[in-house]
Amino acid sequence: MTLVEKREFLDFKVEEFNQPEFIETDPVQIPHLFDKKEDIEIAGFLVATIAWGNRKTILKNGKRMMEMLGNSPFDFVMNTSEKERAQLGDFVHRTFNGEDFKFFTRGLRHIYKNYGGLENVFTKYASEDSTQFAIHKFKSLFFEIDHLKRTEKHVSDPLNKSAAKRINMFLRWMVRNDQQGVDFGLWKGISPAALSCPLDVHSGRVARKLKLLTRKQNDDKAVAELDKNLRQLDPKDPVKYDFALFGLGVFEKF
């Protein structure tokens, strides 16, 4: 396909998949349970963190997370005592366990109390054309307080060669605002043009088939290559194509 043909094909697929019905089968449904900005941010960040493996299990455990937080994640993060936080110890999703969950609520409180919240951190350190350093900086601030070393693996760092799929997906949710009802567009200080595509096995396979990606590994260099090519298709909103690449891979087995 020519560049124009790829754009037309993928634009059509974006329109097909970027619909409210998409929410029903996607982890983005968890932050959609809430109306308050901080609840949406925290629910989105937490469910994005566990968004790997079976999708039904991700949704089930994402809902359980919110129930354990009293369905009021911001209030829990900011006002819960260590004794009350102990109730999170029973949570497990694959390698993310209760100790990780307890730390994540403490780490989030640290971010909101000392750095003005998730939006403020990412907006401060994002550049006009990239959010990757902002992800790196967020991780360093998040883990400033005492924590188990094992918990660090649950926040990826693109400056350490990671594709950072889950946190790039979280940023898509928070930043993109196309009025379609899937992404929230809550954060106004970061341009959608600066976002990176959440690269996983499905989107990577489709991207390689469409010759939007040649690198074999799904790492930071692959993300950079895919970003460059998607920005040729739409420089203002390249990450809308995540809907097309993911949808083609998961739903259509392209």
Element counts in the chain: helices (H) and strands (E): 12, 2
Q: Say how far apart CA 161 and CA 163 lie, in whole Å.
A: 7
Does residue 49 register a pLDDT over 90?
Answer: yes
pLDDT score recorded for residue 174: 98
pLDDT band at residue 103, thresholds of 50, 70 and 90?
very high
pLDDT band at residue 253, thresholds of 50, 70 and 90?
confident
SS3 162: strand
Of the CA atoms within 13 Å of residue 249, those in its CB half-sphere come to 18
Contact (CB, 8 A) for 68 and 186: no
pLDDT average, residue stretch 106-111: 98
pLDDT tens for each residue of 203-222: 999 999 999 999 999 999 99
Q: In terms of Cα–Cα distance, which of 63, 59, 43 is closest to 51?
A: 59
Chain centroid to CA 31: how far?
Answer: 11
Neighbours of 127 (CB within 10 A): 12
